[in-house]
Amino acid sequence: MRHLLFAQDENFWFETLRSLGHIAYGGADFGEVEATAERIRPGDYDSWFDEWYATAQRIRALADEARAQGHVNTAQDSYLRASNYYRTAEFFLHGNPADPRILMTYDKAVDAFHDFAALSGTSVARVDIPFEGATLHGYFYPSPLPGEQPVVVMHNGFDGTAEEMHFFGAVAAQERGYHVLTFDGPGQPGARQHQGLLFRPDWENVVGPVLDHLSELPDVDTGRVALLGVSLGGELCLRAAAFEPRIKAVMAVDGVYDFSQLMLRFIEGDPEKVRAALRAPEAPEIDEQLAAAAESSPTARWAITHGMYVMGGDTPRQYAARTLDFNVRDGVAERIDCPVLICEAEDDLFFKGQPEEVFGHLTAPDKTLLRLTDAEGAGAHCHVGGQRYAFGKILDWLADRIPVAEPAASAVPA
């Protein structure tokens, strides 16, 4: 897709497109996004924060005023947009983990979403899931249909929030009659920001307690559970499905076979030798290449600084070494036996080619590769900009395998 803004900065443009895409489910307004982006100085991360934060503050104030005056719809809509704008403002701050703007802005994003949820009636509720002495925060979206219904468990990826999953499939699935449970796992903001939990590769041990929690939610058919993961979540959800038999269908948006390939693209040399060097006590040539990549590539800079924040590592190489554990290699993909949907974005900025790679390793009898294109408006990473179209395709695939239970004719009002 052509860059409408930030022609020389693919990361600034992608994150702008990401917010534009969230218009589909109420997370932004085109004019607000365009006007904010026009004020940002290209390549200036403080400018990025300042302008998005200013927009978020303005919309939050509008929401508060509308709520005080009894204009519930305006307040609800505005809180939802403000939450997304705060999330966008905070996005590039992780190069300095001590930056006080990180927690301040993250908390404002969550608070705005909670205010939205509080005005939503019964359509979304906060949940807290016990997890190894900590808590995984998330949201439950009950089905609008009566009786027991299947549930779609959803999580984000390397840099997204449980609140953002509202736009990345939660509302779309709820509209179709599914229960939805979204959550932030270790490394994701709800667990990282205040609890310090970093990403871990054994995602089945994260999803397991979440599935345990389903029994505490009303009218959930715990025998019909689907799992959906976005971005890096497209590897994590596959890993979980390989080892967690309660998952009856899995959807990778988009499919990721080996997360470390994102970092290996910035390092020259034979991939296996590079892998060994990343884990070595010293590898000055690798250190130099990663430093050079961060200096010359906005994508490398962001991947490294954010990666160290959410996965750990005192140096870029130590972080890159940790990425080696996040994959479905060595027979893991082959273990999945439930229906699998692998989504592919034609113009993926981060994981181009990986959906086909993971699809080629699947041995599940029911597997589908769904390719979404620029011509359809859905060719960007995770199909931002084409979310109505993409999630229609994704959830139609699910409905053919785990359909909702339609109410009996006598239960339908005349």
Sign of CA dihedral 304, 385, 236, 136: positive
Q: How far is CA 37 from CA 21, 77, 102, 126, 301, in A?
A: 14, 21, 20, 32, 21
- From the list 382, 81, 398, the residue with the least C-alpha distance to 255 is 382
Q: At residue 48, what is the residue type?
A: W
Helix (H) or strand (E) holding 181: strand 179-183
* Cβ–Cβ < 8 Å for 336, 309: no
- From the list 109, 26, 2, 136, the residue with the least C-alpha distance to 387 is 26
231 given a catalytic annotation? yes
- First and final CA of the chain: distance in angstroms? 47
Q: Residue 317 corresponds to which tokens in the numbers above?
A: 């190489």
In whole angstroms, give the CA distance from residue 49 to residue 389.
30
In whole angstroms, give the CA distance from residue 246 to residue 275.
34
CA dihedral 138, 345, 306, 321 (to 10 degrees): 110
Out of 19, 83, 143, 231, the active site residue is: 231
Half-sphere exposure of residue 81: CA atoms within 13 angstroms, side-chain side: 28
In whole angstroms, give the CA distance from residue 232 to residue 256.
7
- The distance from CA 108 to its chain's CA centroid, rounded to whole angstroms, is 19
SS3 145: coil
Helix (H) or strand (E) holding 398: helix 387-399
Q: Residue 81 corresponds to which tokens in the numbers above?
A: 């947009």
Sign of CA dihedral 309, 310, 312, 318: negative
In whole angstroms, give the CA distance from residue 316 to residue 283.
12
For the annotated catalytic residues, the residue numbers are: 231
